[in-house]
Amino acid sequence: MVYLSRIKGISCQGVKKLLKKINTFDEREYQFIVGRDHEISMFSEYLDNGIIHGKNIWNLYGTGGVGKTTLMQVFRLLASQKDALYILLDSRDFNRTGHDLLKALYRQVKGTSGEFDLEPLLEASVTALQELSAYQKVVLAFDTFEELTGLESWLREHVLKWLPEDVLVLIAGRLPLKGSWLLSPSWRERILPIPIEHLNRKDSFDYLRRCGINLEEQMEHMWYQSKGHPLAISLMAATQWTNGKSVRIFGLNWFYDIAALWLKEVPSKEMRKLVEVASVLQHFNQEMLAYLLNEEIDTDLFDAVTRLSFVQRSEKGWKIHDLMREATCRLLKERTPGYYQHLIEQCAFYYANAILEKSRKANVSWEVMEFLYFLEDGLVRTVKYLADNKKYYWEPLTDFTVSEAQAYVEARMRSKNKVAFKHNDPESGTEVQFALTAEESTYLIKDVDIRAFHELDSRCVHLLRSDEGEIVGIAIIVPLHEGTLLSLEEDPVLRPFLYNLSSSERKRLETLPDRPAGWFMRTLDFCDPGDPSYIGEGFRLESSYLCTGGIFILSPPPTEAVIQGFINWGFEIVPGVTQCHYDSKTPAPYLIVDTRENGLEQYLSRLLHQAGMEWRRHEGIPSAEKPQGPLWSSWNLTQREQEVADLVVEGCSNAEIGNRLFISEMTVKKHLSCILNKVGVKNRGQLIGTFMKQNLNKN
């Protein structure tokens, strides 16, 4: 160990005993570190073999309480075991001036205060680091680096620039390095970004077991409540250990501790007001905040909000970190319940207006899911809350993947498992549950001929794949038009519904194939039917059909909880007709949503009324959210090509279009190629220009 003799008043033997005690304590603390194996392994490799791939500036970043400081302390322990010099400078321990930073640095290197003027102190400090690095590993670590904003340039040019390349610099803060750090190739090539993430479910359970918490249901609840945030889960475990009572009873203190920690970043009342309103939304942008507050939002103030460490860029704008969002909403709801309810209603109205505006021009599945969230739909909220971050995507079945889909169906029928979904709504705390027997879990996929449905209409079958390309779910949603009705009369599930229609109702379904009158969901199945992530993907797919100006029909397994869930979602039971195909004896009802003509507005109004909200439709949504109309009739584009073209005009990339329309990126490229040929242009820019010109002429 370095500088043992400088601990005054204690003999050398006493120092060794003290260090032994400290090390024993440290080692015990080390036993509670989980989920950081990769970072620890990298640091150990540096201690053994030196700088990795020329990256000698490691940038550890993540939100407050995510464990950056703890990880830095683990690195300190590992460095001491390898006799490396570990210098840790926490910006909270000295005044934010270059002189005081150097004093703190010199004190750790030399053991004295370094009472020199700035220039000689700078030279002495850098020289000492250069000399020490000649015979031992040297680590220079900065914690809470975001507090050193005004010193970054000085530190970079006067200290870090002159350090030997084998000195490892650790920079830990809430935000990643940017600006001048990345503009210069010389600095950029030396930086290794290391985002510090939340703990996954496995690591969270591992930590809780080490804390003596072993009940599966209790661990599950703590994992969902904390979302794997390290400080949150450790505070919950400490609360449980201290009180020995239910986490739900004592769970709010830690919640507010996290919020208070993050709110230190928010300096003004104006910014806090925006953070509060943004926390009510799942995703936000400047126009949405202006809509909710009914006032203009200063752009500089909005930009300041987006730079907060607990604010993240999202596909739809920005989002507040889940823990911060929920803590802020709870505080808002407790302090000003009337104002909170007003914001909830405004959010619901915003998305209702957006659905009406966009539904005939673009896919509105995302808007539908957000709309349902604000209607206090417990199942939708719970599924969104529990869904993991793993990526899945729907793709249409092709001739090349039919056999793969058939293999999935055969495997599912061989491996029937009962389903027990039982979780708490994160907002109300009420229990959300449904259960299916092993037989019921395969009702929607039994006797399904994948190839026959694919040949009936190529739009029928969709495959849900994981990032690894594995099929984890399948959906059969049949378009209703003149080309499918005769075949569907032979389908054992839909046959009773079609035979019960009057001649005039049947006639309304006999539309042209490119303009279906509606959709019949024959199958929605997942390899694990109770997995919240899969259920969420199913919701997204169904939502893309709900508000398309047609009818949407399904006949779910005849279990009360499942049927009630669809009723809560705005479906209505078709009176006087059922089918008994699933088990040959139990009648299963048909459920329908009809959004033809004025049906969409009635559907949205019905859902809002169920939630106790009386909606007066606003004509239009904020201009920045309002898309251009589909002026593609001159070029005879199909409905799907029009949807793709509209999203190109909105500025979406191929990947974003695929996500919005639930099709693969390759399919987007094929549609785009057809669109360019039909319109007679060579690229996206010319397509947008042609659209704008026609739009101008029409106006």
Domain membership flag for residue 129: yes
Domain membership flag for residue 50: yes
Strands lying side by side in the sheet with 588-594: 392-396, 461-466, 471-480, 518-526, 551-554, 588-594, 572-579
Helices (H) and strands (E) in the chain, counts: 32, 16
Q: Which value, in Å, is the radius of gyration of the alpha carbons in the chain? A: 30
Contacts of 342 (CB under 8 A, 6+ apart): none
Residues 172, 233 within the same domain: no
Residues 374, 448 within the same domain: yes
Domain membership flag for residue 638: yes
Q: Is 420 exposed, middle or buried (0-12, 13-18, 19+ CB in 10 A)?
A: exposed
Domain membership flag for residue 221: yes
Q: What is the CATH number of the domain that holds 81?
A: 3.40.50.300
Q: What is the pLDDT of residue 622?
A: 43
Residues 531, 675 within the same domain: no
Domain that holds residue 136: 32-195
Domain membership flag for residue 364: no
Residues 510, 603 within the same domain: yes
Helix (H, G, I), strand (E, B) or coil at 422: strand
Q: What is the pLDDT of residue 321?
A: 75
Q: What is the pLDDT of residues 319-329, one digit of tens each?
A: 887 777 877 88
Q: What is the CATH number of the domain that holds 653?
A: 1.10.10.10
Domain membership flag for residue 564: yes
- In this structure, are residues 102 and 94 in contact, taking their beta carbons and an 8 Å threshold? no
Q: What is the pLDDT of residue 629?
A: 42
Residues 403, 379 within the same domain: yes
CA distances from 394 to 127, 476, 542, 642, 659 (A): 60, 12, 12, 20, 9
Q: What is the pTM of this model?
A: 0.60
Angle at 230 between CA 224 and CA 232, to 5 degrees: 60
Residues 427, 480 within the same domain: yes
Domain membership flag for residue 10: no
Domain membership flag for residue 118: yes
d(CA 78, CA 39): 12
Residues 385, 432 within the same domain: yes
Give how many domains the chain has, as a whole number.
4
Q: Is 538 exposed, middle or buried (0-12, 13-18, 19+ CB in 10 A)?
A: buried
Residues 564, 479 within the same domain: yes
d(CA 15, CA 414): 67
Angle at 130 between CA 125 and CA 134, to 5 degrees: 145
Task: DSSP for 229-241, please give it.
Answer: -HHHHHHHHHHHH
Q: Is 509 exposed, middle or buried (0-12, 13-18, 19+ CB in 10 A)?
A: buried
Residues 118, 242 within the same domain: no
Q: What is the CATH number of the domain that holds 547?
A: 3.40.630.30
CA distances from 11 to 15, 23, 111 (A): 6, 18, 18
Question: Which stretches of 289-447 are assigned E, i.e. beta strand?
Answer: 311-314, 317-320, 392-396, 419-424, 431-436
Q: What is the pLDDT of residue 424?
A: 65
Residues 492, 380 within the same domain: yes
d(CA 662, CA 70): 41
Task: DSSP for 265-314, please give it.
Answer: T--SHHHHHHHHHHHHSSSB-HHHHHHHHTS---HHHHHHHHTSTTEEEE
Q: What is the pLDDT of residue 178?
A: 85
Residues 114, 220 within the same domain: no
Residues 94, 217 within the same domain: no
**Spans of the chain below 70 pLDDT:** 1-30, 113-115, 149, 238-262, 315, 376-390, 423-432, 617-634, 662, 692-699
